[in-house]
Amino acid sequence: MPVNALPPGPVLHVDGRREISAELTGAVAGLCDEAESTGADFATLYVSGAPSGEAVAKVADVAAVTKWERVVRRFERLRLPTLAAASGECGGVALDLLLACDVRIVAPDVRLLLAFHGQGTWPGMAGFRLVQQLGLASARRAVLFGVPITAGEALQRCLVDRVSEDPGRSLAAAVRLLRRLSGPELAIRRQLAFDAQWMSFEDALGPHLAACDRTLRRGGAAQGVTA
């Protein structure tokens, strides 16, 4: 995948053909550490590849899977915008991370798919995220039968933000649009959106009002500075 101008901040290239391992979990944890400790503006992933059945079979045990799912969740909740560019077949660890990103740009040849293990699709959290983000009807064939989601289908279903012949260049353009957003403010709105999928109105009202109060106070402080 050509990379024309990397967004500022930590960058990680992830090969979806790799099995879940302590090394890979450590690499994502290292990206999160760098993003949190350096005050970076963005965290960027370049993902491609899907595992064979042999790669899935190499996973050590459920403890390794647990550590992996926790680090993906940590990445998903970073207090800064996260971006991903994907090309070719994208499954396994590559799909896990792509579905955890805020901005997703894919090449026209992308096919998103769940890996097979034994006699069914891998029952990891990528299936959970697909159902949450697409709804059961749209995700059903991918989750139950491993039917790939093409780039065009992913764009039509709003699973990705753009299909581009040059995802690297398109990421640079996305960065210019994102610069007007505050990372912490984006993280708050991301969490409110996550919670809206399961919270009742009554339970959600308090967090939304707290976010409104924060926004009003920040706006008032900014006006005071410029007055």
d(CA 86, CA 147): 18
Nearest of 85, 78, 84, 93 to residue 124 by alpha carbon: 93
Least confident of 125-139, 149-163, 183-197: 183-197
Q: Provide the 10 A C-beta neighbour count for residue 135.
A: 11
Tokens of 58: 């190499």
| CA–CA distances in Å: residue 87 to residues 42, 64, 94, 96, 217 | 20, 26, 10, 14, 42
Architecture of the domain delimited by 11-178: Alpha-Beta Complex (3.90)
Q: What is the pTM of this model?
A: 0.86
Q: Is pLDDT at 14 greater than 90 in this prediction?
A: yes
- Radius of gyration for the chain, computed over Cα atoms and rounded to the nearest angstrom: 18
18-61: pLDDT as tens digits: 989 999 999 999 999 999 998 888 999 999 999 886 656 566 68
If pLDDT is split at 50, 70 and 90, which confidence band does 7 have? low
Average pLDDT over residues 64-72: 96
